[in-house]
Amino acid sequence: MPTKVIKIDSPNQTKDIRAVSQIIEQGGIAAIPTETVYGLAAKATPEGIERLDSLKKRQEGKRYTLHIGDKKDLDAYVPVLKAPVRKLIDKTWPGPLTLVVDFEEDSLSKQRKKLGKEIFKCLYSDGSIGIRCPDLSVTRQILSLVKTPVIAPSANPGSHPPAVTFEQVLGYFDNQIDVVVIGGSDSCRYNKSSTVVKYGTNGFQILRDGVFNENDILKISTIRILFVCTGNTCRSPMAEGICKKILADKIGCTIDSLPRFGYRIESAGVAATDGSPASEEAEIICRQFGVSIAGHRSRLLTAQMIKEFDFIFAMSRTHLQICRTLSESQGKVNLLDIHEVSDPFGGNLEIYKKCAEQIESALKERIEEFL
């Protein structure tokens, strides 16, 4: 049967968009454009997977990426996301990024019950799922109209390059698929595949190069936390060090690997002299808390720092007011504790220890905000 060709270059072509979605809904295969390459869209059913396997010339058992029409739909398939992953999605979707998320067994069981065994088996493989929300409005409308989850690998057989024009699609699959959509001028504008990113036990990993590179992913996703005091030699460096320790323990990684998991924790002072080390007492106490701040060097708080960081915690109300004066977003600047953290400068080790204990207690109360 000849492959039907439908030109849809406007989201206002509701009749044509509905026609393509119905073809998928009825078990057909539709070649749909995205901003990267063409995809072969099918219902996430055993029959859909079998047909895709045949077209793609893949061995049985290969799983395909779920495509969604609205990034809000992600919650149905990945109910809980780490803060760096959520930030990455917020900044890149709709867009040329495929997200792979690992699940723990308890979470997998919940998804199996929620979605049903058949759909679950089609979407989740080896404890993970791959999801993408393409940046092409027509394609998102098609996906949103299909009542069953839609999977869509790139439109190419075997080792051939992915199709980026409808002519290439027909060259590969004419008379083998039900319909190919001709998109508008923004179709396949990147002319390369989406970047595939996995977030798991090793933090962020690039599984396939694409539009975004590794530096892009880490820059976009990183949760930035800043602690602010006066001279940046006592309270804020202790908070920085203790926060790193608590976060690393929570995630199950080393302090040095926190950037791989999407976290950057720093400190500054509203009246700091750049380049001063942490006080000797602060270093001693931090070692007792299992972290070293020996390499710390003070720096002056700037408006640019306030702009760059996602969470900013002040030790006192004076620091808070200065931070908010420099900030365009008042909500991201807060006191670390409901009680001000008093300056231990000039005090003995016991005073520094009490200061660190207050900081640790406050951070343990707040830590879920970052995870």
Instruction: Look at residue 83 and tell me whether its pLDDT is greater than 90.
Output: yes
Largest pairwise CA distance in the chain = 85
Say what percent of the chain tops pLDDT 90: 93
At residue 330 the predicted structure's pLDDT band, cuts being 50, 70 and 90, is: confident
149 preceded by a cis bond (ω within 30 of 0): no
Q: All domains of the chain, ordered by start, with CATH?
A: 4-212 (3.90.870.10), 222-369 (3.40.50.2300)
The per-residue pLDDT of the chain, averaged, comes to: 95
CA angle at 60 for the pair 145 and 75, rounded to the nearest 5°: 35
Q: What is the mean pLDDT of residues 125-131?
A: 93
Reply yes or no on whether the pLDDT at 250 is more than 80. Answer: yes
Catalytic residues: 229, 235, 343
Specify the amino acid at residue 302.
Answer: T
Is residue 328 very low, low, confident or very high in pLDDT (cuts 50, 70, 90)? confident
Nearest by Cα to 120 from 130, 112, 109: 112
Task: Give the DSSP letter string of 133-201.
Answer: --S-HHHHHHHHH-SS-EE--BS--TTSPPP-SHHHHHHHHTTTSSEEEE--TTTT-S-SPPEEEEEET
Q: What's the pLDDT at 303?
A: 94
Q: Are 178 and 3 in contact (CB under 8 A)?
A: yes
Q: Per-residue pLDDT for 158 more than 90?
A: no
Burial of 108 per CB tally in 10 Å (0-12, 13-18, 19+): middle
Tokens of 304: 């640019």
How many whole angstroms separate alpha carbon 360 and alpha carbon 205?
Answer: 31
Whether pLDDT at 334 is above 90: yes
Say how far apart CA 40 and CA 85 lie, in whole Å.
Answer: 27
Whether 152 contacts 29, CB under 8 Å: no
d(CA 230, CA 237): 11
